[in-house]
Amino acid sequence: MKRIFIDPAKCDGCKNCSLACMESHRQDGGRGLYTLDLTDPVNQSRNRIISDGMGGYRPIFCRHCDSPDCANTCMSGALEKNLETGLVTYDKDKCAACFMCVMNCRYGVPAVSPDRTRIIKCDFCAHLEEGPACVRACPKKAIEVREV
Amino acid sequence: MNSCTDCLSRNTCQSADKPMENYIRQLPRETAHHRVEGQSTKCGFGLQGVCCRLCANGPCRITPDAPRGICGANADTIVARNFLRAVAAGSGCYIHVVENTARQLKNTGLYKDKIRSEKALNHLAELLDVTGADKYDLCVKVADKVLSDLYRPEYEPMELVEKLAYKPRVQRWKELGIMPGGAKGEVFNNIVKTSTNLSSDPVEMLTSCLRLGISTGLYGLQLTNLLNDVVLGDPVIRSAPVGMNVIDPDYINILITGHQHSLFTSIQDRLLEEDVVEKAKAAGAKGFKLVGCTCVGQDLQLRGAHYTEIFDGHAGNNYISEAVLSCGAIDAVLSEFNCTLPGIEPVCDELKIKQICLDVVAKKANADYIPFNYETRQADGDRIIDEIIAAYKERRGNVPLNLFPEHGNKNTLTGVSEGSLKEFLGGSWKPLIDLIAAGKIKGLAGVVGCSSVAYGHDTLTAELAKELISRDILVLTAGCSSGGLENIGLMTPEAAELAGPNLKAVCKQLGIPPVLNFGPCLAIGRLEIVATEIATEMGVDLPQLPLVLSAAQWLEEQALADGAFGLALGLPLHLGVPPFITGSKLVAKVLTEDMVELTGGRVIIDNDGKSAADTLEAIIEEKRKALKI
Amino acid sequence: MERFVIIGAGAAGISAARVLRDFRPDDIITVISTDEKVHSRCMLHKLLGRERTVDGINFVGTDFFEQNDIIHIACQTVKKIDTEAKTVYYGESYSVPYDKLLIATGSGFFIPPIPHFREAPNVFGFRDLSDALKIDEAFAKGKRVFIVGSGLVGLDAASALCHRGAEVTIAEMAPRVMPLQTDDYAASVYQKVFEDHGCKFLLGIGASGAVVDGEGNITEVILSDGGHVPCDFIIMAAGVRPRIQLALDSGIAAERAIQVDDHLRTSAPDVYAAGDCTGLSGVWPDAMEQGKVAARNMAGVDEAYPKPYPFKNTSNFFGVSMLSAGRMDLTDGAEILVHKTPKEYKKAIVTNGKLTGYLSLGDISNNGLYLYLIKNGIDVSGKLDRLFRLTFADFYGINEKNGEFAYKV
C-alpha cells in the first residue's frame, strides 16, 4: 500500500504538482505543459496548494484514506477502497453524480466536475507506470510516495 | 583508491556533438550541460507565459480557478506583455550592437584608421545615399546617417528603412502601420507599454513586436554586418579548422566572446606587433592567438581570411564555452556582449583565467572592466595585454591541461556572405535560382539563431538540418547554430553525402557542403539580404520564395526580436519550443495562424526535427507550386 | 462454521454481507431480498429516466454474490423469524436457519390517509426497484404525473420523468420545494430550474381527495384548495416509515422503528438490525456504516455504533447541485451568514461559535469540510470572516505515522 507523504515545510507553493496533475489527466489528447489549457476548468488539478498566510504552504492531496469517507458513503459503487493497493479507485461510468463523497470527505478533496456529471479525484496516475506525476514534478521533494 | 568520479559523472544533457558530450561529462567541474538536470522541473506557468510579476500584487498565475490576475489582466494580456517585453529587450541588444558598430566606423573615419574594405564602404554609401569628401569622411557620414536614425524619437519614422528594405515589404508594412520610428525610441516606448497597468491590448502589442522586428533586423542585423565589413574586411570563402583542435597550447590564448567584433580590432592588430610578440616570447609562449567562441568568434571566422595569423579558428558556440575554458590552455576571456555565460566565472576562477570585459552591458562579476574607449584604445589595449601575460605566467604550469585536439575538423567551409556567395556563383544569383527552378535545390532554409541545452545541446538544430538537406533543401546558417553544425562536420565538403541525391550532386559539382555557414547571428541579416536579392531577381515578394527560417534552438530575447523580423518579412519561422506564449490562445493564434494574413509569415512550433522538416518541406513545396516551378 | 443470514439487500444489508465475508471467509452467508437485483435506491431515478439499466444501478457489481460466495435468495419476502428456533421463514414455505441474523429491511413509502389513495392501483411509491418498474409501466400508458411531496424522492422522480417528456405536477404542503434541505432562496433556484424543464409546482397545497374511474384508478386529484388536477398516475413522496412489520410479527421489539442498542442488537438474541428500519438515520452513508458495524459485531468484534448525524444531503438536478448539512432552522443566539454571487449561494448558521447549519448551492466542491465542522461541533468563532473560504488548510495536521491527514482544532 502506497501513499503520497507530504512535508509541508518543504513546499514553496510553485504549483508544479498541480500542473503535473492537470497535464497527467488532460483529456484533449495534447501533450506537454506548453499546450495545457490553464483556463479550462475541466483541466483542474486534483491537488491544491494553499497558503498558510505566513509564507508557508499546506498541500492538500487525496490521502487514499484507510477508512475513506468518500468510498464509505458512495451509493453507486463508483468509489472503492482497494485493499491490495490501498488506493481509493473511482469509476466514472458507475458514478451517479450524487456527490455524497464531496459532502463526506472531511478534507474536501473530491471536486465536482464543471459539468456536474462526475467527480475529480486523485487516481495515483494509474495510467502512468512511473507513478504519480505530481511527485515527480516537485522540485523540493515535498511529496514522495512511501509504503504504508 | 578513492575516486570522486561518481559525484562528477552526474548526468549531462545530450549533445549533437557526441565527442563533446563525452568530454563534458568527464570534466571535473560543473557546466551548463550538468545543470540541465537540476533545472529539469520547469514552472508550467512560466513555460506558458502566464506568470505575471509586474506589480507587488504578484506573481499572479493563471489557473482554471483564477483566470485573471489581481489587476484583472487575463492570459492574453499577460502573455502579450511578457512577449513584447522580451522582444523589446532583444531589440535593445542588437540596437546596442549596431550603435557601437556605427560609432566604431565613425571613429575610424575621424581618426583616419585602417579601412579594410573600401568596396564595402562604397556599397554602403550608395545604399544609404551618402557622399563624402574622401573615404574617411564617407565613414563619418555613413555612420552619422545610421546613428541619427537610431537616435530619432519613436514618433519619427527612420529614414533608412525604405532604402534598406525590399519595396514590396515596405508597402505591406505601411499598410499594417508598422514602419518603425527611431530604433532606441521604439525599445523605450514598448518597454513603457508593458509596464504595470499600461497596455492590455494583446493585438496592439503583437503589432509592436513586428515594428521592433523591423528596426532590429534592418539596423541591428543587416547594417551591423555592412558597417563591420568596412572596418573588419569582407568575408571570403575558404576552408578553416573548427572545434577545440584550434587551440594551440604553445600560445597565449585569448578566448573572445560577444557580438561586437569591431571592439577587438585594435587589440587584435596590436597582438601581432613585434614588441608585443616579444613580450609573449619572454613569458615563454610563441605569441598570441585569439580563440573564437560565441558569435564574435563566428564573425572573426567569417572574415578569417584577413586574420590568419592571429586567429586560429572558432572553437564552438556559447554552450561549449565552459568546456573550452576547461582545456586549460586559455589564459584570458575578453568579452564585450552576450553570450558570455555566467557559468564561465567559476571555471575562470578555478583555472586562474583572466576575465576582462570591454562593455559594461556584459560586465561579468569577476571580470576587470576596461571600457572600450576609442581615444585611449592603444594604452588600454597594452594594459589588457599586460594583464593577460601576467595571467599566462601565473597559471601555465600550475593549471592542468585537458586538451581535446581530436575535436572538430580542419576543413569547414566558411566566409559565406551575400557578397562572397554571389561572387562564388559568378557575380549573379541566376545559377542558384536556376538550380532551385530545376529542382536540384528544392528550396532554402535558414537554420539560424542560438544554441540551447535544456532539451539537448544542438540536438534539434542538427537533426533538423540533416533532415532538411536529405530533402534537397540547402541550409544556410547564422548564429550559434552554425557553431554547433560546423563542429559536427555538416559544413565540410564530405557532408554532401548526407544530402538528398539532387543537392548532393550540386554540392559535389560546386565543391560546397550542403550547409552554408554565414557566421554569427548578426549574419541572419545577410541571409535576408540574399533572400531579398533573389526575390528581386525573380520579381516576387519574399513570402513567395521557397524559403523558410528555423530558429530551432532559439535561446534568448534577441532571437525573438530576430524572429519578429522574420515574421515581418513574411517568412515561415520554425521554433523548437514556444516563446512562452501558449498560455494565451489569442497570442498563439495570431503568431501561428493569423500572421499569414498580416505579413505572410507564421510561427511553427515543433520540437521534433523530422516532423518540423516535414512541415517546412511542405511549405517549400507549396511555394514552389505557386511559383510554378 | 457459523450461518449468517441477512434480510434485505440495500445499503445496510450489502455492506454487512461484504464485511462479514471479510471477517469470515469460510462461513455461510445468505442474503434474502424482495427485489430481484441489488440496486442503489439513490439511483432509481437514473433507471426511471432511462439513463441506466437495472444492472447499471447495481452498486456492487452484478457478480457480487458469486465473487463473495454468498447465497442470494432473491424475489422472496421473509414472513417470520422464529427467534427461538433461530430460523427465518420466507416465501411459500421455505426456511433457513441462522446463528446470527441481520434485519435490514429498510423503509417503505407512506401514503397519508387521503380518500382513494391507499387503494388506487395507480398510486406508486418510489423506493424500490419494483416501484420504478411499476412507474415505468404506468408511464407507457399516460404521461400526466402527479407527485405528492417535493423532497429529494419526489424531485428525483420528477427529474427522471421530465427527461422523458412527462407532464409533471408536484404538490408540496410546505411553502417551498425541498423544505427540509433548502431555504427560500435555494428553493426558488430549484423551483425555477424544474419549471424551466416543464414541471408545475403547487406549493402550500396538499391532496385532499380523488376522482376515480371504474377500476379505482385515480383520474383526478382534488386539492386542498378545491382545485382539480387530472392525472394518469400518482407518485407518493411524502415520507417514509421504517419497515417493522416483520419484527412485530416475530416478537422483536419495535415501535416506530426496530429498537436496537448501541451495538445494533435487537431485543432477540443474535438478531441485529441496521439501516433505515432502525430509525437511526435515513441517509445512505449511515445505512452503509450501520451495516458494517452490525456485521463486525455479528462476527464477534465488540464495536459500538456512534450516534449518526443524519442531517445532511446533496442533490444534483439539471446541473444545479446543492449540499445541506445540519439544521437550517434558527434557534436563540444563532447567527446567519450568507455569501451570494451570480453563480453561488452559501449560507451558514452559527450558534454559540459553532457551525450548526450549512447550505451550499453551486459548486459544492470542498464542502465536506463544513459537514465535519458541524458534526464535530468545532469552534469557528475566530474564522467567521472567512467562513465560506475555509479549507482543510485551516485545520491542517498530518498523522506522521501513516501520512494521513488529521484535523488540528
DSSP code per residue over A38-63: TT-GGG--SSEEEE-SSS-EEEE---
User: Is B45's CB within 8 Å of A137's CB?
Assistant: no
ipTM of the complex: 0.95
The predicted model scores a pTM of 0.81
> Count of A–B CB contacts within 8 Å?
53
User: Domain-by-domain residue ranges, chain A?
Assistant: 1-61+125-148, 63-121
Residue B559 Cα, gap to closest chain A Cα (Å) = 19
Query: For A136, which residue in chain B has the nearest alpha carbon?
Result: B41
Query: For A135, which residue in chain B has the nearest alpha carbon?
Result: B41
**Mean pLDDT over each residue of chain B, to the nearest integer:** 95
pLDDT of residue B3 exceeding 60, the answer is no
A15 touches chain B (CB under 8 A): yes
* Residue B539 pLDDT class (50, 70, 90 cuts): very high
User: Is A66's CB within 8 Å of C398's CB?
Assistant: no
Start and end residues for every CATH 3.40.50.2030 domain found in chain B: 244-395, 413-627
Residue C179 Cα, gap to closest chain A Cα (Å) = 19
Residue C46 Cα, gap to closest chain A Cα (Å) = 8
User: Is C284's CB within 8 Å of A73's CB?
Assistant: yes
CB interface of A with C, residues 20-59, below 8 Å: 48, 50-52, 58
CATH class of B75-232: mainly alpha
User: Matching CATH topology for C3-108+241-298 and C123-238?
Assistant: yes
The confidence score (pLDDT) of residue B10 equals 56
* Residue B163 pLDDT class (50, 70, 90 cuts): very high
User: Is B41's CB within 8 Å of A18's CB?
Assistant: no
| pLDDT, tens digit, 9 for 90 and up, residues B126-153 | 999 999 999 999 999 999 999 999 999 9
Question: Is the bond into C25 cis (omega within 30 degrees of 0)?
Answer: no
pLDDT of residue B2 exceeding 70, the answer is no
DSSP code per residue over B393-445: HHHBTTB-----TTSSEEEEEE---HHHHHHHTTSSSHHHHHHHHTTSS-EEE
Residue holding cell 594594459?
B383
Q: Considering CB atoms only, which of B42, B43, B75 is closest to A39? A: B75
Q: Rounded to whole angstroms, how far apart are CA atoms A78 and A96?
A: 8
CATH assignment of A63-121?
A: 3.30.70.20
Cα separation values, B602 from B50, B523, B547, B591, B622, Å? 22, 21, 13, 6, 15
A112 touches chain B (CB under 8 A): no
Q: Considering CB atoms only, which of A48, A94, A103 is closest to C371? A: A103
- Smallest CA-to-CA distance from C3 within C105, C96, C103, C104 is with C96
Q: Where are the alpha helices (DSSP H) in C2-128?
A: 11-23, 44-48, 64-67
Give the percent of chain B with pLDDT over 70. Answer: 98
User: Is C321's CB within 8 Å of A116's CB?
Assistant: yes
The confidence score (pLDDT) of residue B4 equals 39
| pLDDT, tens digit, 9 for 90 and up, residues C323-347 | 999 988 777 889 999 998 888 899 9
Mean pLDDT of the A82-104 span: 93
Mean pLDDT of the B435-455 span: 96
Q: Which residue has the higher pLDDT, B38 or C76?
A: C76
Hey, is B488 helix, strand or coil? Answer: coil
The confidence score (pLDDT) of residue B404 equals 97
User: Is A34's CB within 8 Å of B47's CB?
Assistant: yes
Q: Considering CB atoms only, which of C40, C284, C314 is closest to A102? A: C314
Q: Rounded to whole angstroms, how far apart are CA atoms B63 and B61?
A: 6
User: Which residues on C lie below 8 Å from A48 (Cβ)?
Assistant: 391
Mean pLDDT of the B494-509 span: 97
Mean pLDDT of the B435-448 span: 97
Longest distance between any two alpha carbons in chain A, whole Å: 42
| pLDDT, tens digit, 9 for 90 and up, residues B551-563 | 999 999 999 999 9
User: Is A19's CB within 8 Å of B577's CB?
Assistant: no
Mean pLDDT of the A91-112 span: 94
User: Which residues on C lie below 8 Å from A69 (Cβ)?
Assistant: 368
The confidence score (pLDDT) of residue C307 equals 85
CATH assignment of C123-238?
A: 3.50.50.60
Rounded to 5 degrees, what are φ and ψ at B323? -70, -40
DSSP code per residue over C186-243: HHHHHHHHHHHTT-EEEET--EEEEEE-TTS-EEEEEETTS-EEE-SEEEE-S-EEE-
Q: Which CATH architecture has domain B413-627?
A: 3-Layer(aba) Sandwich (3.40)
Q: Rounded to whole angstroms, how far apart are CA atoms C20 and C274?
A: 14
DSSP lists the bridge partners of residue B475 as B445, B515
Residue A109 Cα, gap to closest chain B Cα (Å) = 15
User: Which residues on B lie below 8 Å from A26 (Cβ)?
Assistant: none
Query: For A108, which residue in chain C has the nearest alpha carbon?
Result: C366
A148 touches chain C (CB under 8 A): yes
Q: Rounded to whole angstroms, how far apart are CA atoms B583 and C65?
A: 51
Residue B606 Cα, gap to closest chain A Cα (Å) = 11
The neighbours of chain A, by the rule of 3 or more Cβ pairs under 8 Å, are B, C
Q: Considering CB atoms only, which of C312, C368, C393 is closest to A105? A: C368
CATH assignment of C319-395?
A: 3.30.390.30
User: Which residues on A lie below 8 Å from C49 (Cβ)?
Assistant: none
User: Is A112's CB within 8 Å of C288's CB?
Assistant: no
Q: Rounded to whole angstroms, how far apart are CA atoms B75 and B68?
A: 7
The confidence score (pLDDT) of residue C331 equals 79
Q: Which fold has domain A1-61+125-148?
A: Alpha-Beta Plaits (3.30.70)
pLDDT of residue B7 exceeding 70, the answer is no
Check whether domain B244-395 has CATH 3.40.50.2030, yes or no: yes
| pLDDT, tens digit, 9 for 90 and up, residues B255-290 | 999 999 999 999 999 999 999 999 999 999 999 999
| pLDDT, tens digit, 9 for 90 and up, residues A56-90 | 899 999 999 999 999 999 999 999 999 899 999 99
User: Is B61's CB within 8 Å of A19's CB?
Assistant: no
For residue B122, what is the enclosing H or E element?
helix B118-128
Q: What share of chain C is helix, strand, coil (3-state, %, to 5)?
A: 25, 30, 45
| pLDDT, tens digit, 9 for 90 and up, residues B63-90 | 998 999 999 999 999 999 999 999 999 9
CATH class of C3-108+241-298: alpha beta
The confidence score (pLDDT) of residue C332 equals 80
User: Is A14's CB within 8 Å of B43's CB?
Assistant: yes
Q: Rounded to whole angstroms, how far apart are CA atoms B370 and B356?
A: 7
User: Matching CATH topology for A1-61+125-148 and A63-121?
Assistant: yes
pLDDT of residue B5 exceeding 50, the answer is no
For residue A95, how many C-alpha atoms fall within 13 Å in the half-sphere facing its CB?
A: 24
Q: Torsion angle of alpha carbons B164, B169, B172, B176, nearest 10°?
A: -60
Query: For B607, which residue in chain A has the nearest alpha carbon?
Result: A32
Mean pLDDT of the B373-378 span: 94
A42 touches chain B (CB under 8 A): yes
Return per-residue pLDDT of chain C as tens, 409 residues: 899 999 999 999 999 999 999 999 999 999 999 988 999 989 999 999 999 999 999 999 889 999 999 999 999 999 999 999 999 999 888 999 999 999 999 999 999 999 999 999 999 999 999 999 999 999 999 999 999 999 999 999 999 999 999 999 999 999 999 998 899 999 999 999 999 999 999 999 999 999 999 999 999 999 999 999 999 999 999 999 999 999 999 999 999 999 999 999 999 999 999 999 999 998 999 999 999 999 999 999 999 999 888 788 999 999 899 999 998 877 788 999 999 888 889 999 999 999 999 999 998 999 999 999 999 999 999 999 889 989 999 999 999 999 999 999 8
Do B and C touch, counting CB pairs below 8 Å (3 needed)?
no
Do A and C touch, counting CB pairs below 8 Å (3 needed)?
yes
What is the DSSP secondary structure assignment for residue C86, as one 8-state letter?
Answer: T
User: Domain-by-domain residue ranges, chain C?
Assistant: 3-108+241-298, 123-238, 319-395
Hey, is A37 helix, strand or coil? Answer: coil
